Amino acid sequence: MTKETPKQAPATPQAIRGTQDIFGPDAEAFAFVVETFERVRRLYRFRRAEMPVFEKTTVFSRSLGETTDVVSKEMYSFEDRGGESLTLRPEFTAGIARAYLTNGWQQHAPLKLATHGPLFRYERPQKGRYRQFHQIDAEILGAGEPQADVELLVMADQILKELGIADGVTLQLNTLGDASSREAWRAALVDYFRAHKAELSEDSQERLEKNPLRILDSKDPRDKVFTADAPMIDAFLSDEAQDFFGKVTAGLDAAGVAWTRAPTLVRGLDYYRHTAFEFVTDRLGAQGTVLGGGRYDGLIEALGGPHTPAVGWAAGIERLAMLVGDKGEAPLDIVIALESDALLEFAINRLTQLRRAGLSAEMVASGSPKKRFDKAGKMGALQLVSISERDGKAFVNIRGENRDAARTALINGILAP
């Protein structure tokens, strides 16, 4: 086979590694996650916002921390035709913080925001881990009170419950303390891990001086043996930080949201302070974190803005959808079998009216007229309607169960010839 063979069809392009085309039950579960999120965020009065999928690279490098995995290894960065370095967003928060500053959204503070959409990370693709994935995301900007943390966590809990996946998912909660607590903890971690430096993974040896908290978040078994005995934040918490955390847990208890303390929980990004949390399951193998977030009081300052306390979370839609499983499609209310082509316009009119009345409806109007009734009968609709011609007029026959009298009257009224 030579390259020059003139009539050879070009090879079909393949999808990019780590991306997915989602269809069928998976797509239904995906939509169910987004719809549930949209419904619940309205109950909590979170406002929708849409941000661009790409930003200047500095938006992410400055806010996430240069030494984090996301910035150092996972970003899709490129130069555009104008020579500017841009990055496909690997997470929502930095772009939201940028938008908050550039649009003067401070005037709305405290601002409760919700969004969802695609994110991009150059990771090793596996089940539950993709290079393009999707998140639902909720943030409260300009709120320094622990009640904001509580509200976000209670909303997350309600979303998981309404998705029907709360069983087996636990809320793991930690505090990273305020700046001084965190600094003292950091110094203790450096001392502790330095004694084991040679046995740590290469990545963690590098993290040791720059970013020792990161070692606690490592998935490498060589690091994990040391995390259990590492110094805990509790010994370094200031009274203020302890009080803040106490108010968060008291609020969760008041709302009836179960949580467990996870003293080694740190988050993958550097901007967190005080509350940090993850909703975790053991039903998704290694990709067990479905939702994660925390307080990021220092982030907006890092982007050159005024001191602005804020807290938020994000959850992977694909991972949530995997837990949701097969929801099946919503039942079809009515199928029309059109048995006479002369009545096509009549049938189109009635089909449209049914749908405008809020009923799901399909029509079978192609193929052999004799077979249409059988074909329609196999579609599993609650009601099967045949439209045929008798004495030159439309004859409508309705079969199948109906749910209630008002509905029956509505359908009969619409379908009357």
Please identify, using beta-carbon distances, which residue of 299 and 314 lies nearer to ligand ATP.
Answer: 314
Binders of ligand ATP among 117-136, rule CB under 6 A? 121, 123, 128-130, 133, 135
Least spacing, CB of residue 313 vs ligand ATP, in Å: 8
Instruction: Give the other-Cβ count within 10 Å of 168's Cβ.
Output: 10
Least spacing, CB of residue 198 vs ligand ATP, in Å: 26
Measure the CA–CA gap between 178 and 198, rounded to whole angstroms. 31
Least spacing, CB of residue 113 vs ligand ATP, in Å: 16
Among 110, 231, 263, 268, binds ligand ATP (CB under 6 A): 268
Segment contacting ligand ATP (CB under 6 A): 40-48, 79-87, 313-321, 400-408? 313-321
Least spacing, CB of residue 277 vs ligand ATP, in Å: 10
Look at residue 286 and give its three-state secondary structure: coil
Please identify, using beta-carbon distances, which residue of 26 and 123 lies nearer to ligand ATP.
Answer: 123
Please identify, using beta-carbon distances, which residue of 99 and 269 lies nearer to ligand ATP.
Answer: 269
| Edge-first strand listing for the sheet containing 169-175 | 47-48, 111-120, 132-141, 310-316, 289-295, 273-281, 169-175, 260-261
Least spacing, CB of residue 203 vs ligand ATP, in Å: 14
Least spacing, CB of residue 320 vs ligand ATP, in Å: 7
Please identify, using beta-carbon distances, which residue of 182 and 214 lies nearer to ligand ATP.
Answer: 214
Among 155, 315, 351, 415, binds ligand ATP (CB under 6 A): 315
- Cα→Cα distances 215→174, 228, 280, Å: 16, 11, 19
Measure the CA–CA gap between 132 and 105, rounded to whole angstroms. 29
316 binds ligand ATP (CB under 6 A): yes
Q: In degrees, to the nearest 5, what angle opens at C-alpha 71 toward C-alphas 307 and 142?
A: 20
Contact 230, 195 (CB under 8 A): no
Segment contacting ligand ATP (CB under 6 A): 30-38, 45-53, 289-297, 300-308? 289-297
Rg, the chain, Cα only: 28
Please identify, using beta-carbon distances, which residue of 151 and 217 lies nearer to ligand ATP.
Answer: 217
Tokens coding 89: 């967003």
Look at residue 207 and give its three-state secondary structure: helix
Please identify, using beta-carbon distances, which residue of 135 and 249 lies nearer to ligand ATP.
Answer: 135
Among 314, 336, 411, 415, binds ligand ATP (CB under 6 A): 314
Instruction: Give the other-Cβ count within 10 Å of 296's Cβ.
Output: 28
Least spacing, CB of residue 367 vs ligand ATP, in Å: 43
Least spacing, CB of residue 234 vs ligand ATP, in Å: 23
Least spacing, CB of residue 286 vs ligand ATP, in Å: 8
Which residue from 215, 164, 159 is spatially nearest to 186, judged by alpha carbons?
215
Among 142, 292, 294, 309, binds ligand ATP (CB under 6 A): 292
- Select the residue whose beta carbon is closest to ligand ATP and give its number: 316
Instruction: Give the other-Cβ count within 10 Å of 247's Cβ.
Output: 15
Among 19, 170, 205, 287, binds ligand ATP (CB under 6 A): 287
Segment contacting ligand ATP (CB under 6 A): 208-216, 283-291, 352-360, 378-386? 283-291
Measure the CA–CA gap between 213 and 9, rounded to whole angstroms. 54
Contact 129, 61 (CB under 8 A): no
152 binds ligand ATP (CB under 6 A): no
Tokens coding 265: 């929980």
Task: Concatenate the DSSP letters of all residues of 50-80 into one string.
Answer: ---SEEEHHHHHHHH-TTSHIIIII-EEEE-
Contact 320, 290 (CB under 8 A): yes
- Contact footprint for ligand ATP (CB under 6 A): 91, 121, 123, 128-130, 133, 135, 268, 287, 289-292, 314-316, 318-319
